[in-house]
Structure 1
Amino acid sequence: MKLSISDEKTKELLTEVMIELIKTRRDIFHEIIIEALEEVGFANAITEGRKNDFVPQENIFSLLDEEPK
C-alpha cells in the first residue's frame, strides 16, 4: 500500500508544525532571528568596508595594543 499526500496538504501540515514550534519554543526562534540579523549586519559591514581603502594590518594591531584612556 502506497501512501501519498498532496503538495497542498504537505504545505498545510508543515505550516501547522512550524506555528506550533514557534509557539512552544519561542526562545529558540528568538535566538535564530537575532543570529540571522547579526549575520546580515556583518555581511553589510563587510560589503561597505570593501568599498574603501584597506587599512594596513600594522595600524590595526597598534590600535589594539594601545592602553585604554
Structure 2
Amino acid sequence: MAQASIPPEMLKQAMKEALVETFSEQRDLLREVFADVLEEISLVAAIEEGRETDMINRDQVFDLLDGGS
C-alpha cells in the first residue's frame, strides 16, 4: 500500500486553516477553553500564595466560611 507524502509546509498551512475555521465556527468552545486556562492559572497562583502564608486549622476555615471573624 502506497503512502501519500505531504510536504511539511503544506501540512502546516492546512492545519492552520483548519484551526482558524474551527475556532471561527465554534467561538463558544474557544471562550470556554480560554476561561478554563485562566481559571487554572488563577488556581496555581492561589496555591502558590497559600504555600507562603501561615497555616490555620480546619475549624478556623469553616468559621470563616460560615461568616465568622
User: Per the shorter chain, which TM-score range?
Assistant: 0.7 to 0.9
Return the offset for 1:63.
2.3
- The share of aligned pairs that are identical, in percent, is 33
**Runs of at least 5 residues in structure 1 that lack an aligned partner in the other structure:** none
**Runs of at least 5 residues in structure 2 that lack an aligned partner in the other structure:** none
TM-score, structure 1 as length reference? 0.83
Supply the RMSD in Å over aligned alpha carbons: 1.5
Return the offset for 1:66.
4.3
> 1:2 aligned to 2:3?
yes
- Report how many residues are paired: 67
Provide the C-alpha distance between the structure 1 equivalents of 2:67 and 2:30, rounded to a whole number of angstroms.
Answer: 40
TM-score, structure 2 as length reference? 0.83
Displacement over 4 Å in runs of 4+: none
